[in-house]
Every structure is written in structure tokens, then in C-alpha cells.
Structure 1
Amino acid sequence: MSYLTEHTNLSACNDDVSSINTRALEMMLGKEIGYLTANILSKEDSDDRTITNRYPTEYINSLDPPGLPPFKLMLKVGCPLMLLRNITLEDGLCNETRLMVVRCATRLTEAMILTGKKARNFVFIPRISLSPTSGELSFTMTRRQFPLH
């Protein structure tokens, strides 16, 4: 566990992070569990046929905007994670908190906090609705997923 709290992989883009995470996950023992997101366009965009025709569901699912978890989040018990959003600051669940998966369930993930004042505390991470913070997309979407990477 000390290795997970003392080392960080710095990367310039999401593709590099995904590649590193995939290789690390493959090396870990245990069953891999995949969680798919639910992506939703805003009401205005979903009513606009020019947008829905131009951006089919498959395309939206392939997007990996900064600050959002991937469409298919792969987890294993024991794998390290980083929290992508503030959930409850008083419980130590803030953006960039390092965690380790303890248990994977359908609607939540149980994790142990690895760093900070709340290190070694066990927490539950629910699926939440997230929207990209940058304006790089020409439409507005919401992704429902565990806020983890």
C-alpha cells in the first residue's frame, strides 16, 4: 500500500493515462469488473435532429472528455484510483483523492482512502451525473458513472 501512496504517474493526456491503467490492471490478480456509463444529451440537444443525427450514441460513448471517467470503467479489488470530483470534503472525498478498491457492487464502489488526514478510512463511491467542464464539445452531455479514473 505504501507504493500506492508515494508514487504518481504524470501524463499529458487521457489516452496515455488509459494505456498505463490498462497495463497495470492486467498485471493485477483477480476478476476485472466493467461498468458502462449512461450518456445523455441535454434536452435542447436531444430535441435537435441535426445534433442527434451528427453524433450517434456510439460516437458519444467513444468520447473521453477531460474530467470525466471513461465510457467503460474497468476495476479490480486492490486497484488504485483517483477521485475526479468533490463528493464530501469532510469525509476526505475531494478531487484527486487517491483510493484503492475494496469491493465492487452494482451501484457503488467501496474504497479505502490512501492519502491525507482520512487515510485508511473506508468510503462508498456512488455513481453520479457528471458534465464536461471544458467547452470543447459542440453539444451538452451528462455522463452517469463512478467519478473515478
Structure 2
Amino acid sequence: MSHLAELHRYCYLEVELLIQERAILAPTLECVEEINNFMLGMIPGDETEYLSCDTPCKSDEDSGVNAEWFTSEFLNDFKCSGIPNHAIKLKVGVPIMLIRNIDQAAGLCNGTRMIINVLTKYIIVATVLNGNNMGETAFIPRMSLTPSNSDIPFKFQRRQFPVALCFAMTINKSQGQSLSHVGLYLPRPVFTHGQLYVALSRVKSRKGLKMLIIDDEGVVSNTTRNVVYQEVFDNI
């Protein structure tokens, strides 16, 4: 192996270790997507865009919903928790997270973090960054996924890679993670019980925690509102 190739391998391993122990947390999917897109633009290298194939489920043909609404453009616009976006932009060397179970025996579960090694038309090759299978190589295919969101009055199927960029992740998605460095971005306060506690408890030490809090006027602040069930205080 040449000295240049060895240096490249060393740098890649250093980046892998850096990403493995760090994450940015935010309260909503919109905030997470904003951060991930910003970070992707800072990473050198060629960008690969993957577009999904979206189709309405046949079981909804007689549901009373006008079938003419189910155009590709209409379905492409949907962004739901639990399924990837219609368009995913990725680069080699960036972190991603599985958003569906692929192979639980191999540790490829919802929430598994990985770093991309190779991008091809049909397969993403990545290295697992957390769990019992840390360091192993994973081959991720496209999958046909159906949203589980009950607020959508019809069902559709999206064929796409079951991954999302993972420079940042939602606080809820970070449960079970143990990180040495956490950046907590709060452009608005948390909105569910225990969410702030989950975010703060992901980091191993106080020294590894950084917070950016934005108040209602858009000014950086050093306080934020917590959300807990009122019953927590009943016996205090």
C-alpha cells in the first residue's frame, strides 16, 4: 500500500471515530433536515441524489378518495416520520441512520448509525458505527415502505433506501445512544414530556455538552422551557 493510500485510510478512520462519538440533537424533523443539508454542503466530494418511486396502494382505490389526486408529484411531496424523503442526497464519508429494521440478527435495526463507504445505483455500502456489530460492513438495498402515520387519509408505497443523513438527529431518535459530545440545538423549546431529559442524558459528561438556544425573538438565550407532566410535582 502506498504512503498516500495509507494516509487516506488513516484519515478515514479518524473521521469515522469522530462521527461515532458525536451528534447534533434537535427537537423536530424540520430542524434536523436543515442541519443535515447544511453539513452535507460543507463536506467535499461528489454528491449522489437518489429519487424514490411512489405509488398509491391498491387497497385505497375504493376508499372514496379521488384517485386522480395520486400523481407522482403529489406523493413525492409527502414527508413522514418512519419513511425516507423522496429525494435523498448523500456523499461518501458522511454519516447516515437506518430508519427501518433490515436485519435484526446482523444489528441492522431502526436507529443504527453508519458511515458511507460506497454509493451505487442499487446498493449503499456502509460501516456500522454503534451496537454489537460496530465496525462491520453493511449492504443496504432499496425497500418498499408504507407510512404508518394515521393522519394521512390514504396509503401509498415509497421505494427508496431506508436511510437518512445523520449529522443531526431528532431527540426522540437519539434514545439509547451514548455519546462523548452532543450539540443540542433548540430553535424552539421541546414539546413533549421528558424530551429535554432524553437529550441531556445522551452525553457521557457535562464537558461534552454544548447547547444553542434561540428565544421567541430569534436571539441566542441561556434558558429554555422544560415540559413535564404536572403529576410529577404532586408529591413534592
Distance in structure 2 (CA, Å) of the matches to 1:83 and 1:43: 27
* 1:132 alignment counterpart: 147
Runs of 4+ in 1 over 4 A off after TM superposition: 46-50
Percentage of matched positions with identical amino acids:
34
1:15 aligned counterpart, secondary structure: helix
Q: How far off is 1:18 after superposition?
A: 1.4
Q: TM-score by structure 1 length?
A: 0.92
Q: Specify the SS of the correspondent of 1:136.
A: coil
1:53: Cα distance to partner?
A: 2.6
1:15 counterpart residue number: 30
> What SS does the corresponding residue of 1:9 show, helix, strand or coil?
strand
Q: How many residues align?
A: 149
How much is the aligned-residue C-alpha RMSD, in angstroms? 1.6
Q: Which amino acid aligns with 1:99?
A: M
Q: What runs of 5+ residues in structure 1 fail to find an aligned partner?
A: none
* TM-score normalised per structure 2: 0.60
> In terms of mean alpha carbon deviation, does 54-63 or 28-37 score higher?
54-63
- How far apart are the structure 2 equivalents of 1:11 and 1:131? 25
Provide Cα deviations, 1:35-78, integer angstroms capped at 9, x if missing partner.
00011101133567843333432121011011111110111000
Gaps of 5+ in 2: 1-15, 165-236
Cα distance in 1 for residues equivalent to 2:23 and 2:67: 39
1:64 and 1:96 mapped to 2: Cα distance? 18
SS in structure 2 of the partner of residue 26 of structure 1: helix
Amino acid paired to 1:31: D
| Aligned match for 1:73, one of 76, 84, 88 | 88
1:2 paired residue number: 17
Contact persistence 2:129–2:135 (CA under 8 A): yes
